[in-house]
């Protein structure tokens, strides 16, 4: 079956512009996560959605970052007024919402370069 997909695979943008990154989770997975992988910070959690519950936004680095999940499926991560330190690979993952477990399946990532 299809895995987690992300688009675009690569994005180059100018400092100060807004970007939107998209994630399509595995069908039937109710939990969705965004992580960021950068040279300086490693792999860091950004935000987590679970069904209709309020998202866990505790990992978002600043108020320039936001995410939404429409209809419990597709998610969009938006970065406003991009900065060079936002350059990273943004990874999306999804999982079944099994109590305590729920293996996370990762997408291939979107490589964002801010020039």
Interacting residues with another protein (CB under 8 A) = 4, 31, 33, 35, 42-45, 48, 50, 56, 58-59, 91, 93, 95, 100-109
Query: What count of residues does the chain have?
Result: 115
Residue 80: CB minimum distance to another protein, A = 23
Closest by CA to 111, choosing from 92, 93, 90, is 90
Residue 15: CB minimum distance to another protein, A = 26
Under 8 Å between Cβ of 98 and 34: no
* Closer residue to another protein, CB minimum distance, 75 or 95: 95
Q: How many CB atoms lie within 10 A of CB 15?
A: 12
CA–CA distances in Å: residue 19 to residues 1, 63, 113 = 29, 14, 11
Residue 101: CB minimum distance to another protein, A = 6
* Closer residue to another protein, CB minimum distance, 8 or 16: 8
Checking DSSP bridges between strand 88-95 and strand 19-24, what pairing results, if any?
Answer: unpaired
Residue 70: CB minimum distance to another protein, A = 20
* Closer residue to another protein, CB minimum distance, 14 or 27: 27
* Closer residue to another protein, CB minimum distance, 91 or 112: 91
């Amino acid at each position: 079956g299809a895995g987690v997909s992300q688009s675009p695979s690569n994005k180059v943008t100018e400092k100060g512009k807004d970007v939107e990154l998209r994630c399509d989770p595995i069908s039937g997975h109710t939990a969705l996560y965004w992580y960021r992988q950068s040279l300086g910070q490693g792999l860091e959690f950004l935000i987590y959605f679970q069904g209709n519950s309020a998202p866990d936004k505790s990992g978002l680095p600043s108020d320039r970052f936001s995410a939404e999940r429409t209809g419990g499926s597709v998610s969009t991560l938006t970065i406003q007024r991009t900065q060079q330190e936002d350059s990273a690979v943004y990874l999306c993952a999804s999982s079944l919402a099994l109590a305590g477990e729920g293996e996370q399946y990762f997408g291939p990532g979107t490589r964002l370069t801010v020039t």
